[in-house]
Amino acid sequence: MSSKSNFIALKSILYKEINRFMRIWVQTLVPPAITISLYFVIFGELIGSRIGQMGGFDYMSFIVPGLIMMSVITNSYSNVASSFFSAKWQRNVEEMLVAPVPNWVIVAGYVGGGMARGMLVGTIVTLVSLLFVDIQIHNIWVIIATVSLTSATFALGGLINAIFAGSFDDISIIPTFILTPLTYLGGVFYSISLLPDFWQGVSHLNPIVYMVNAFRYGFLGISDVSLTLAFSVLAAFIITLYTIAMTLITKGIGLRS
Amino acid sequence: MNNALEISGLKKVYKGGFTALKGIDLTVKQGDFFALLGPNGAGKSTTIGIITSLVNKTAGSVKVFGHDIDKELEQAKSYLGLVPQEFNFNQFETLLTILVNQAGYYGVERSLAFKRAEKYLKKLDLWDKRNDAGRMLSGGMKRRLMIARALMHEPQVLILDEPTAGVDIELRRSMWIFLRELNKQGITIILTTHYLEEAEMLCRNIAIIDSGVIVEDTDMKSLLSKLDQETIVFDIDSITTAPQLDEFTCRLIDDHTLEVDVKKSQLINDIFSQLNGQNINVRSMRNKSNRLEELFVSLVGSGQKVKQESK
């Protein structure tokens, strides 16, 4: 197909994906806002007020970037995982497979849809957080770059999960047993500098630590890890996950018999 | 005339070892109305799946208008429109969304896609339902929606896998008219069906597949000419014993129904003369079964599996 046709196909997948999560906004956009409000009330107002400062900021200001990032990660991942698996399950993924859509367009379309939901939810959570705390911005470009690359990373992860999934249970296993623990242990609620040396070392194996800290740097100008290392980790994950996703779709794993 | 489809040595072995296709050859000319018939599990859907790249082949080649699916898959796909056997559209999307998105996958601009969606939804009597979700449609409407979807990029080859399964007679006949119209416009149509009458009514050429082997590949007239015997059913005035008919085999099914086997070389007039001579009045007559059905059963039912000869 020509590049113009590819662009139209990409727009169609993006339109379909965005239309899907907007159509079911009560399930996709409202729950993160409610969850995050509860986090602010419990961890910020009730418990946070007794914790004191962290990284030179009051606890509420410290956790805001992590909570936003947590919503972006969860929503980017689950959007692609559930949408692509539903398309497989209803077999309407065949609409794309029979069409002359290059595989990279399919990957880009679904990842773009996941990023759109992740970033829209991130924006909603940011607006909700304004009700509880004044948000400062240290470097807007770091914020934009981190949130874009992180949502792309987890959208790719969700796509790979959906390709392998054989049932709806299979798309909840990774978020429940891997993603949630990594997020909670990824420095959302604390600075990893508080941990003993050994656990600080272990934390550096958690990719979410780099994403949360780079994002926090964009807001507060503080980070437990270097920005260069954080963006390198993000780039490495995107390249690796994209390569895996492309290989799986090209071979037709879980899609073609 | 160009070949719309060329299949050569196509073989498919599924995981687990089941061989669905044993190296079939098939050619469909541009503009043809082609039937691919076979019993359940014969390999029809596997063949269509490979042509449309939903199934990975084990060996062999498939070319669509000369474009090999191994080398020029996207070009090959752009010629094809598929109406699959099972409903595979998003049940929660509206008809318009389904059609416009599908056109987009083929690079059709949204403004043009909306015009085509209106054209085909009106043509297939679905325009009133355009803003309904797919799941709200009846079975027949869902079938028509899938035909509209397959036409959105105006393909040169339309492949229909059991398109009239579960569709009532009136709707089936209106779909036949629509498909004939498309074929007249130059679209090559490849059809699999269980309704042999459908294949006989619509198709010019036919291939019969059984157990992954093409057992017949010819034009409809030649195939039907192979039929050397038909069974005619006569509705008669009441009799108690079967009449004796010289040179014909007959069976009295009940006191009003007589079945007579008629060879191609025999005349039905002779039956009438003999029945008349025995004072048996005939009220009406009909073929016992569809002619193609008899051939189909003889080709795939009696275990006569002829290995496909190279053309």
Residues A50-74: tens digit of each pLDDT: 887 887 888 888 889 999 999 999 9
Give percent of chain B above pLDDT 70.
Answer: 92
CA distance A148 to A116: 9
If we measure between CA atoms, which residue out of A72, A62, A70 comes closest to residue A132?
Answer: A62
Q: What is the pLDDT of residue B62?
A: 96
Give the CATH number of domain B3-225.
Answer: 3.40.50.300
At B301, the pLDDT band (50, 70, 90 cuts) reads: low
**How close does chain B come to A94, measured CA to CA in Å?**
7
Q: What is the pLDDT of residue B289?
A: 65
**How close does chain A come to B181, measured CA to CA in Å?**
24
Task: Among A12, A248, A250, A251, pick the best mutation site for testing chain B contact (most B Cβ within 10 A).
Answer: A12
More reliable by pLDDT, B188 or B286? B188
- Dump pLDDT digits (tens) for B50-86: 999 999 999 999 999 999 999 999 999 999 999 998 8
Q: What is the mean pLDDT of chain B?
A: 88
Q: What is the pLDDT of residue A15?
A: 94
Q: What is the pLDDT of residue A211?
A: 93
Residues of A in contact with B109 (CB under 8 A): 8
Residues of A in contact with B97 (CB under 8 A): 16, 19
Residues of B in contact with A8 (CB under 8 A): 104, 107-110
At B239, the pLDDT band (50, 70, 90 cuts) reads: confident
Q: What is the pLDDT of residue B303?
A: 46
Please name the amino acid found at residue B230: E
Q: Per-residue pLDDT for B95 more than 50?
A: yes
What separation in angstroms does the CA of A49 have from each of A42, A136, A184, B76, B209?
Answer: 10, 19, 20, 65, 76
- What is the b/e burial string over B55-89, where b = at least 16 CB atoms within 10 angstroms of the residue's CB? bebeebebbbbebebeebbbbbbbbbbbbbeebbb
More reliable by pLDDT, B193 or A152? A152
Low-confidence ranges of chain A (pLDDT < 70): 1
Give the CATH number of domain B229-291.
Answer: 3.30.70.1560
Q: What is the pLDDT of residue B311?
A: 35
Residues of A in contact with B49 (CB under 8 A): 257
Place of tokens 């059809």: B191
Q: What is the pLDDT of residue B309?
A: 38
Which residue of A lies nearest to B102 if distances are taken between CA atoms?
A95
Residue ranges per domain, chain B? 3-225, 229-291
Q: What is the pLDDT of residue A60?
A: 85
CA distance A84 to A65: 29
Mean pLDDT of B30-34: 94
**How close does chain B come to A247, measured CA to CA in Å?**
15
Q: Per-residue pLDDT for B162 more than 50?
A: yes
Q: Per-residue pLDDT for B120 more than 60?
A: yes
Q: Per-residue pLDDT for B307 more than 50?
A: no
**How close does chain B come to A51, measured CA to CA in Å?**
48
CA distance A248 to A93: 14
Q: What is the pLDDT of residue B240?
A: 84
- Dump pLDDT digits (tens) for B148-159: 999 999 999 999
Number of helices (H) and strands (E), helices first, in chain B? 10, 14
Q: What is the pLDDT of residue B306?
A: 41
B57 touching chain A per CB within 8 A: no
Does residue A257 form part of some domain? no
Give the 3-state DSSP-derived string for B198-246, with helices as H, strands as E and coil as C. Answer: HHHHHCCEEEEEECCEEEEEEEHHHHHHCCCEEEEEEEECCCCCCCCCC
Cβ atoms B9, B60 nearer than 8 A:
yes
Does residue A85 form part of some domain? yes
A12 touching chain B per CB within 8 A: yes
Please name the amino acid found at residue A188: V
- Interface subset of B 95-124, CB within 8 angstroms of A: 97, 100-110
Count of A–B CB contacts within 8 Å?
89
What ipTM goes with this model?
0.87
More reliable by pLDDT, A118 or B301? A118
Domain of A156, in residue numbers: 3-251
Does residue A256 form part of some domain? no
CB contact under 8 A, B53 and A2: no
Mean pLDDT of B222-234: 79
Does residue A80 form part of some domain? yes
Q: What is the pLDDT of residue A61?
A: 86
Does residue A247 form part of some domain? yes
